[in-house]
Structure 1
Amino acid sequence: MNFKKYATMLAIILLIPGGIYFYQQAQASKYEGMTFIPEQSDDVPLYRGLKAESPIYKIKGNKWEDIMVFYQQELPKNGWAEEMMQVSSDFSDGAGFISTWRKEHQGWELSIRAAFYKNTNQTEVLFDKKEPKQAFDWIKGEPSEICINEQPDRSDECYPIIESEVILKIAELINSASEADMEQIPYNEKSIIEIGPLKIEVYYDLEKGIYLVSEKGEKWMKPETEFFQLTRISKEY
């Protein structure tokens, strides 16, 4: 009787390390390929219900808006500042948001993306630790004129801006915008700004942001009121 008891105890003792090993392996595989894991950080909470499935997190249902609001509320409490937020203009398949967050004295930035896919009825979220985007000058020197076409889809006409102070401020705003790399154009409204030989396509939403595209690359900036007032690309200003 005692022999059976000891044999059972020995088997259990031998199984425990094996069970721990396989559990650790399963946990590691869930996070494989992830550059940032909220569960292992002190200042980025994980939205309730998100489950890690390398290299992303998933949750049932259309939750991207709730997730966006959650991080907009929670991250600033832990010292994070929203650098960029791009939100889908409609609710088509794959709709969601892309955001970038920075923290003072930290040499990297946090990217959070979420999208809802109808065929799986799931929202997928990607957390990514990235090198901060730099702002490179597109406009050199002091342009003598800027020409703006408010509605290029309707007309080829553009109106010139020749006031030097206005030109320099518009150039400064464009140069200071962060480099971007979008998978698709995020906004519906479009205008064109011509500065010398440089042609810049401006896609914008008055509340969500301004997306700039030229031969020099892509940039994004917050929906600065000053930019709209100076360029007058929107009828609202």
Structure 2
Amino acid sequence: MKNRIVISFVLIILIISSVAIYKYVLEKDRYSSVSIVPENRNDLPLYDGLEFQEHHYLIKGNYWYDIYEFYRDTLPNHGWKLVFKQASIEDSGGFMLRFQKNDKELHIGGGWNPYANETETTFDLNPVLHKTMWIDQKPRSICVYLNKNAVNCNKITDQNKIEQFIKMVDEDAVNKDDAPLQKEFGIVDVNGEKIEIHYDPLLSSYTLKTADERKQLKPEALLELLGLTHLKER
């Protein structure tokens, strides 16, 4: 009799555990398409009535401006710093908000769909993108080495090309300490400073590297600009 009771108790525990694990997996998969879940945070209240649907939150009716005001006025009380706000009545009305906290940037956007009579809201959390200036003074020329072992360089004196390169390095590229490096790379000498140009056809970005820092640059015509297209042939 006692054995039956013990076995029954163990089975009940296993069933309860299995149900709990199943619910946890379902909940985890449910939010796999988003970078932040307001329901799981104490510093990001969810506007009353918003419900999660696949990759965004929905509420019936035209509430876009109420949601905009709610997050604009509420999040600073939770430690978020408002760095950008925009609200417009064009195309039925919508908004964009951007907050920063602890090197993280939170984007909240939303708008009303009059055809479905629904207000959609999205939340996105990413690291704050930092940019540092590498080129203090515009050079009269830059020197491009085809690889790390090259002795001679191809000099570029075209001022338009030099300005494009500076813009890519200082304005378009963002700091990223773990940006990937490659075995083969080109080198650009700018005012005596070496900037390595790393490229891999399988990646969606370039890595720029100095002696102290790394930056990442989205796909640009950088190799064509510098005459380093041979890096694409690997």
Greater Cα radius of gyration, structure 1 or 2: 2
> What's the TM-score once normalised by structure 2's chain length?
0.48
> What's the TM-score once normalised by structure 1's chain length?
0.48
Higher relative contact order (CA 8 A, sep 6+): 1
